[in-house]
Amino acid sequence: MSLLVVGTVALDTVETPAAVRTEQLGGSAVYFSYAASYFTTVRMAGVVGEDWPAKYTELLRARRIDVSGLQIVPGAKTFRWHGRYAPNMIDRETIDVQLNVYGDRRPALSDQCRRSPLLFLATGSPHQQLEILDEMTGPQLVVADTTDLWIQDERDTLLKLLQRVSGLMLNDMEACLLTGCARVVQAGLRILELGPTFVVIKRGEHGAVFFSKHETYVLPAFPTPDVVDPTGAGDSFAGGMMGYLAEQRNFEPKTLKEAMAYGILVGSFAVEDYGPDRLGTIDRSAIELRMDRYRKMLSF
């Protein structure tokens, strides 16, 4: 079952206590696609500028990601993000954001993209997320991400979007901001009343919490000792989860839970090197090996 992601494709500059990496491959659609590529054919839609390095497109192709939806806009510059991590590798400061082409236009979707049964709307303006959704031809599962910016600036449009998606993914602070609830468990339950069938609250190094009408559960993060660059962990989580759902071709509660576990594990690999580098070096069997360890960790 093929899966479409629409999101940012970026050049990231990342500073950690150990090193600085300049203009590395990044963006929500990129991390998502790398993560989903272990499980399914993923179509990536996004816009970049003329300055986009061809070698990055080759890296994506090498992961068998369908990059036909990646549009290079003449005369434009690629979206850039520059962040700096604290020694705990959790807290981060955004040094600079240059929207560039991402601020000007959204990707045009091919007919093939529009027919994708699974759609992930990476964080972006809810207005644009709705436009993309309108272009789709009867998707079976739509999951959206959002961030504090959109919750604050486009709340009404976001609420409309929530009426039309199956799932929402966001982090704990965003969930509290959206609902006014101080506690995550209550925030998740409240979001269900806003429309989605399920909500996943991402908690970084603390794992993720799943909410549906019938169940609430927590799965912890896999405690990898090697955190090199946390950039893209949340998008990798989403890609792993959605990729597994696409592979399994069903969205039953049992499958959703397995999918969340796969998302957590792919996310745990993503942070082990700069950019999506680590995701470029592992294969499915490495994920399954870690899954065995993860299941054992949670058994007693």
The span of 107-115, 156-164, 182-190, 277-285 binding a second copy (CB under 8 A) equals 182-190
Of 286, 200, 211, 283, give the one whose Cα is nearest residue 235: 200
Nearer residue to a second copy within complex by CB, 88 or 137: 88
The span of 24-32, 97-105, 114-122, 179-187 binding a second copy (CB under 8 A) equals 179-187
Q: In b/e form, how buried is each residue of 193-230, taking b as 16+ CB within 10 angstroms? A: eebbbbbbbbbbbebbbbbbeeeeeebebbebeebbbb
Residue of 84, 114, 190, 206 that binds a second copy (CB under 8 A) = 206
Residue 211 and residue 198 in contact, taking contact as beta carbons nearer than 8 Å: yes
Residue 31 and residue 101 in contact, taking contact as beta carbons nearer than 8 Å: no
Nearer residue to a second copy within complex by CB, 102 or 262: 262
**Binding to a second copy by residue 30, rule CB under 8 A?**
no
**Of residues 83-142, which lie at the interface with a second copy (CB under 8 A)?**
86-89
Nearer residue to a second copy within complex by CB, 97 or 185: 185
Least distance from C-beta 27 to a second copy, angstroms? 26
Least distance from C-beta 87 to a second copy, angstroms? 4
Nearer residue to a second copy within complex by CB, 80 or 278: 278
Q: Which amino acid is at 48?
A: V
**Binding to a second copy by residue 223, rule CB under 8 A?**
yes
Nearer residue to a second copy within complex by CB, 83 or 207: 207
Q: Which amino acid is at 133?
A: L
In whole angstroms, how large is the CA radius of gyration of the chain?
18
**Of residues 243-272, which lie at the interface with a second copy (CB under 8 A)?**
254, 257-258, 261
Alpha-carbon span 114 to 298, nearest angstrom: 39
Residue of 30, 76, 130, 209 that binds a second copy (CB under 8 A) = 209
Packed helices 155-162 and 126-135: angle between N→C axes, nearest 10 degrees: 30
Of 11, 36, 31, give the one whose Cα is nearest residue 23: 11
**Binding site residues, a second copy, CB under 8 A:** 86-89, 176, 182-186, 189, 203, 205-207, 209, 216-221, 223-225, 227, 254, 257-258, 261, 295, 297-300
